[in-house]
Amino acid sequence: MAREKSQACGVDASDLYAAAVCWWSTAIAPAAVLPSWPEAPLSVWSSFVSKGTQLPPLHAALDIDRVAPLATRQHVTSRREFSSALFSAHRDYRTGRGADAVLLTGSPFPPSGQRASTITPLLEGPIRQAWDGRHYFISRQWHHKRPAAPPPRVGVMWELSSDEWQRFNALHAATFSRSLHFTRRPPTPPSQERRPNSPALQWLHALTTAYGWVFQHRPILEFSPAAIDKLTAFVDAGGAKRSTLPRLAYDFLVRDRDHLCRISGALAASEMSRVQGIHVDAAWSLVRRAMLDTLTLLHTPSSTIRNLTAGLDTAISSVADTAPAETPRQIKSWGQKPTLTSTTNKTRGASVVNRIKNWYKACQMCGEAIHLPHQDRAYTEAAHIQPLNGDTPGPDIIENLLCLCANCHVRFDYGALVISDSLVVIDTATGKELGKLGMHPWHNIDPKFLRHHREQWTDSTKRAPTAQQEQPRDN
């Protein structure tokens, strides 16, 4: 798929693949974790360096909106915009209005001719938190507290010139070692051979299914014995050789195992499997390329590079993987409840409301839309399946939301309509099935919220809520 897409967009297939891994890892970072570091997100950060030749931007060539449904993407072109985007993500996340994940693209680093400025400690702390999660503890001297909840899932996919990258590695240590660095390659010449069966649609369908599975099950992506052995051999083989590298090269390679684990986890999640040895092999091909490109950009002697990579190649390939793929065990879904600090935060968060309303232009139940000519839009309401209020409040997430018209919203809130696990709408007064719920391909409803709603209203002894219990409907 990457090769076919790259030929159409004029970019190299391996560049497109690396960018897709970065994007995919950010998309699933709010839901999937690794057992060795559960507080750290799965996000893979990357920077792509163009050396003189003007190449098409990867974020445009990737057609990102079809690959993974991130809540938001922000394109930054200066350190000020980078700082603003990062702090906005933290602020919105703390107040309950934040998106599940945000990917930052562009280049915040000053080009040639502009005065260079280092990242201040005030910004460096949130950068490290975004990559390390709650595992990272900010120094007291910066007047930050250890976050009570995980920070927002922030992905980074920079596209830089060679000059910008040189300023990046010299001045921005917090993000330099946390990023995989790739030198952009010229596009692959189109193949003269036509393939009768294109895998592109099959690949996209598989990724759609995997995305739904990840957010429904919230898996711990455990490692198979072979995968653990490969990682152990990798660390042992590289330990002594890394110490002989120049300081900046050593600083970059100090996190190569973390990069390998994150990419392995992202690839395993795309196959709905625990991390196998084959995933480590595939991740190593990407980390290996980043290692070669980075050390070359840092003018490391070629003999040193060959010696390092040859030892790591041998360590990875020396461990055989014969275990079959297995589905990872599940963790509790939606373990973090929203922190409601004010009346405003009890209502629907703006980010998820906008997302679900953009997906649906009509009611999911009846298919009707109320058109408002003066606003030139269809009026719909975002409805919680398990309410935010009450004895057992539901979470403020997209998997607990429906997009309904005002009529169906009231009927659903008061139990006149319920939804089966197979997403069939049922009239509780007559028991009649009214049809399937309309669904966007990226909307994955957690069945446990549907069951909770049915349990509240299928018992004939249930009473309608009193005036004190009623809450304003979400818009």
What is the 3-state secondary structure of the chain?
CHHHHHHHHCCCHHHHHHHHHHHHHHHHCCCCECCCCCCCCCCCEEEEEECCCCCCCHHHHCCHHHHCCCCEEEEECCHHHHHHHHHHHHHHHHCCCCCCEEEEEECCCCCCCCCCCCCCHHHHHHHHHHHHHHHCCCCHHHCCCCCCCCCCEEEEEEEEEHHHHHHHHHHCHHHHCCEEEEECCCCCCCCCCCCCCCCHHHHHHHHHHHHHHHHHHCEECCECHHHHHHHHHHHHHHHHHHCCCCHHHHHHHCCHHHHHHHHHHHHHHHCCCCECHHHHHHHHHHHHHHHHHHHHHCCCCHHHHHHHHHHHHHHHHCCCCCCCCCCCCECCCCCCCCCCCCCHHHCCCHHHHHHHHHHCCCCCCCCCCEEECCCCEEECEEEECCCCCCCCCCCCCHHHEEEECHHHHHHHHCCCEEECCCCEEEECCCCCEEEECCCCCCCCCCHHHHHHHHHHHCCCCCCCCCCCCCCCCCC
* Residue where the block lists tokens 């562009």: 106
pLDDT for position 468: 41
pLDDT for position 119: 59
pLDDT for position 343: 33
pLDDT for position 3: 53
pLDDT for position 466: 42
pLDDT for position 64: 65
Which stretches of the chain drop beneath a pLDDT of 50? 1, 138-144, 147, 192-200, 331-349, 460-473
Is 327 within 8 Å of 272 (Cβ atoms)?
yes
The whole-model pTM stands at 0.73
